Structure 1
Amino acid sequence: MTEGPEPWEPGSGPFAAGSIDPRRYAPATERNRDAILAILREELPTSGVVLEVASGSGEHAIHFAAAFPDLDWQPSDSDPAALASIAAWREEAGFANLRPPIRLDATAPWPMEQADAILCINMVHISPWSATLGLLRGAGACLPPGGLLYLYGPYLRDDVATAPGNLAFDASLKARDPQWGLRRVEEVIAAAEAQELGFDRLVEMPANNLSLLFRRKD
């Protein structure tokens, strides 16, 4: 049996046989969480509810809930094992502003009707395009005017050469599932506009990742 959180990447499947710790450990979280946090400090409201879609291991929710004690953090995921990991990390942290995780499938009706901001980190490329469309549809319905939708991950751009590492990553994702793969920024923006989500700005991030920021139109 293994003790302690297991290394895990989104989409990698269940825990190893014999694991007794429900917590997941996503190595990418430690590499990107502070760069993401720097942007969120500029963009999030001072109070309200922040919904994280596809929270995965739950480590981002822990990190951000600690950084923003005046915001209520609502983690979610569609994977039962991820929900167990989030719950375990949450219990260990004991933060009053971190809510129990909820099951949320981006392609299905959402269990929440309102959120003041929505985050989605590293889901768009490790899911079918229908999940991105569901995310945008749900965000358009839940956010108030001016509410933030924040997306993070690797993307393709029409006018920018794609890094070789991202091209290789895209090929590996499609080999695992033909419905996965890096999405074009321009296609995401167009789909967001159809849900009354206006494109705010793009921020280049470390390791050839991007932050895409959208605001719910008035």
Structure 2
Amino acid sequence: MHESSPRPHPPACERNREPILGVLREHFAGRRHVLEIGSGTGQHAVHFAAAMPWLVWQASDVADNLPGIRAWLDHAGLPNTPPPLALDVLQPSWPAVAADAVFTANSLHIMGIDAVDAFFRGVGRVLADRPGGVLVAYGPFNYDGRWTSDSNREFDAWLKARDPRSGIRDFEDCDALAAREGLQLLADLAMPANNRCLVWQRAHV
């Protein structure tokens, strides 16, 4: 294990990882290779890969975030976490990954709407030849164009002040983008702190 690189350590990852893990244990039970998009610090990758050793957990993020992810992966020294990939959802082609599951947490509200569209298109390509392939997205979502809590309304205002392109996404819009890629909604699960876990699956043919 390598201890020289600093490991980013936002406390939110520790607060939400167990509720998310409960969802992933169920919906990734039959999966083998997960592509995590927007791995951030790498904390989730380490925690989930350790808890689900039957999975290869492929972390990815924009290039600037890779050093922190590598620090977490190196520290954990797990056999099922390959080196993280540089992946910007807006890039024309994504790295080739033989994944049968995709996971993302707290990313869609950070992206611009063009990136959200590109995210679902990319996931559609990743899972194109994977009947039964699963996408799990964690984070806050609006319903019928309305915030689900005062804290989410305040968070949305903070996001837009920081970057007008960002903001909490409408569930209905995301579900339509998923459906365009052949993904059917399996579950919409309430999570702590007014978040949701949305689970889609590619139809079996």
Corresponding position of 1:101: 84
Map Cα deviations across residues 4-24 of structure 1 (whole Å, 9 max, x no partner): x9xxxxxxxxxxxxxx84321
Contact 1:53 1:119 in 2 (8 A): yes
Corresponding position of 1:183: 169
Q: CA deviation at 1:122?
A: 0.4
Alignment partners' CA distance in 1, 2:179 and 2:82: 30
Of all paired residues, the percent bearing the same amino acid is 44
Q: 1:123 to 1:159 in 2, by over 3 A?
A: closer
Q: CA deviation at 1:25?
A: 1.0
Q: Which amino acid aligns with 1:84?
A: P
What SS is found at the alignment partner of 1:42?
helix
Alignment partners' CA distance in 2, 1:162 and 1:39: 21
* Cα RMSD, aligned residues only: 1.7
The 5 A counterparts of 1:58-97 are 58-80=42-64, 82-97=65-80
In terms of mean alpha carbon deviation, does 135-144 or 44-53 score higher?
44-53
Unaligned runs of at least 5 residues, structure 1: 6-19
Q: CA deviation at 1:121?
A: 0.4
Q: CA deviation at 1:134?
A: 1.5
Alignment partners' CA distance in 1, 2:153 and 2:184: 28
Corresponding position of 1:196: 182
Contact 1:107 1:133 in 2 (8 A): no
Q: CA deviation at 1:131?
A: 1.8
The 5 A counterparts of 1:144-163 are 144-158=130-144, 162-163=148-149
Question: What TM-score do you get using the length of structure 2 for normalisation?
Answer: 0.92
Alignment partners' CA distance in 1, 2:148 and 2:49: 33
Q: Which amino acid aligns with 1:158?
A: D
Question: What TM-score do you get using the length of structure 1 for normalisation?
Answer: 0.87
The 5 A counterparts of 1:1-218 are 21-80=5-64, 82-108=65-91, 109-143=93-127, 144-158=130-144, 162-218=148-204
Higher relative contact order (CA 8 A, sep 6+): 2
Alignment partners' CA distance in 2, 1:208 and 1:165: 8
What SS is found at the alignment partner of 1:96?
coil
Contact 2:145 2:170 in 1 (8 A): no
Alignment partners' CA distance in 1, 2:22 and 2:60: 22
What SS is found at the alignment partner of 1:22?
coil
Runs of 4+ in 1 over 3 A off after TM superposition: none
